[in-house]
Each structure stands twice: as C-alpha cells, then as structure tokens.
Amino acid sequence: MQVYGEHAPVLNKSFPGALLMSKKLGLVLGSGAARGWAHVGVLRGLKKIGVEPDIIAGCSVGALVGGAHLIGALEALEAWARELSPVSAFQRFDLKVKRGGFIDVSSAFNAFAEYDRNIEDLPVTFGAVAADLGTGEEVSITSGSVIEAVRASSAIPVAFHAIKKDGRWLADGALANPAPVSLARDLGADIVISVDLNGVPKVLDRFKPSTTTLPAPIESPPPPEPGLSGAVTRLIEDTRKAISLQMEMAKARASAAPRLFETAFAAADIFQMHLARARAAAEPPDIWIKPDMRDAMPTAFDRADEFIEEGERALNAARADIERLLEE
C-alpha cells in the first residue's frame, strides 16, 4: 500500500476506514462464473479488517466483480444477479449465433452503463486479462472503459460473443491466466493475494474407486421369532435392509456413466485447476486463497449467500498471514 510520512499508516481517503501502508497490496480475483459470488465475500472480509487493495487484477467473473466494486456498481450487480436462476441466467440474454458464440450479453452490460468509468480514473489501479483468439496470447487490459474490459475478460468461448478491441478478437481470460498474479505484479503490487475459485475443482467424486467398491452381499436371515428374540431379529433385519439399500446405491453409482454436462463442467474445472496451479508455480502469490467451491456449478447464481459466506470464510482463514505481511 502507499506510504505517507515515515511509513506511518494513514486513512485511505478513497475508502474511509481502510489503512494505507508502505507496501502496495494487489488483489487477484480469478475466474469461476457463478462462483464469483465468493469474491464478494472476500471483498467484504477485507473491508471488515480495514484493508483495501491498491491494485485489483481480475479474470472473467473476477474482473466483473472487481470492476463493479471499483465503479460503485457492485450492489446493483448483486441485486440483478440474485434474480437469476440456472435457467433464467440464459433467458435474460439474446440468442444470436455470431462472433464465435450464441449468447449476446450486451443487454446485461448496458443495464450498468451509467456506472461505467475509464480505468485510468478509478481510485484503485485495475486490470483485466483476456485471451486473443488470433494469437492465443494473454492480453492485459489496463485502460479504457471498465465495462468493455470486463466484457472481454468474461467472454466465455462458444457461449458468449467474442469482443473486438484494438483490432483483436478477445475471449475469456481464463483460457490463458485464470488467476492473473503476473498482472498484479506488473501493475506494481508488492504483496499479492490471489483468490483462486478453481483451486478445489469439481471432480466427479462418485467415480472414485473408493466409492464404487461394494461389500460382500448379506444373506437374508430366517423369519423373526415372537418375543424378545424376535425383536432383536427384526432390528438385525432392519439394519440388514439399510445396509442393502446403501449397497444398491453404491452399485448404481458404480454402474453409472458420466453425464454430458457434468463431464463438461468437471473437465473445465480440471483444466482450470492445472492451468492455475502451473501459473501459480511460475508466478506465486504471497497468499493463495482457495475457497472450497467443489460443490458449486458454474450456473448456480441462486446460491449467492453460501458462496459469499465461503469467500469471507476463506479470507478470514488467511487474515493473520495478510496482517503479518502488511506489517513487515
């Protein structure tokens, strides 16, 4: 964070209650679709401990939440998104097959046009990453319209229309850098907190070998006798039936095949997890926050409260490390 005087903390005038320290703090908000609600929890958690980042680098929904936060549209975005369900999330947009996708999200972003500002005019340094469809390169957007930067960064391939900016066709930054620590460093961050929503991926747990190994079948006992011995026998029989039911459920899981959309979501998560891990190994953050979002479908916009809570919980778990780094 910025420093005034002899390294003494002072109030941040742009964000009352936050402190300015001698080191610049960068906050990285990663990709994750509806899981991005967790970023709201992270921002709330930081505010509660009196910390406001000097730099926010976002990818996809991370760019959306970070950008909305900085232009003062986060509450309006939250109110709008809370009305979405997994189905209505797509009904709100226009279906137009062009520009490499079949969903036009212009109407959604136009609803927040009144909040738009240029990145250069924000109180906090901001950047978003996108991917160049022509070269495959990662593109850092650090100037111009916040909304246009966010649109490019969150243009999910095939689903959403690609965005043309400065002669390049841009798509979701998650293709290149799902948690852009490198961008935060390039923008001047001394300390980087990275919030990785794909750190705990949605794998298909029901196909793990440990969940498909069946116990030996239990033979049926003879009919119960009357009296106390009969009651004990009935209890044993009820227990046997419960165990048999569990066995049948396990057998069903073992014989089931992966379904189309769950496979697509799991594959995307696995890809994002490995890409994020590889980038983090090459460009490590100082603090790596990984909210447990394994049970969160990318379209689960209606689970805002629990995702926000998980984001704040993950932030609070790292609070001591954050405060220690800022004090050093």
Active-site annotation, residues: 60, 172
DSSP state of 205: G
Q: How many CA atoms lie within 13 A of 249 on its CB side?
A: 8
**Among 25, 26, 27, 36, which Cα is nearest to 291's?**
36
Burial class (CB within 10 angstroms; exposed 0-12, middle 13-18, buried 19+) of 257: exposed
Q: Which residue in this structure is represented by tokens 């026998």?
A: 233
The CA distance from 129 to 245, in Å, is 50
Here the tokens at position 259 are: 């379904």
| Chain centre to alpha carbon of residue 201 | 10
Contacts of 100 (CB under 8 A, 6+ apart): 133, 157, 158, 161, 162, 169, 171
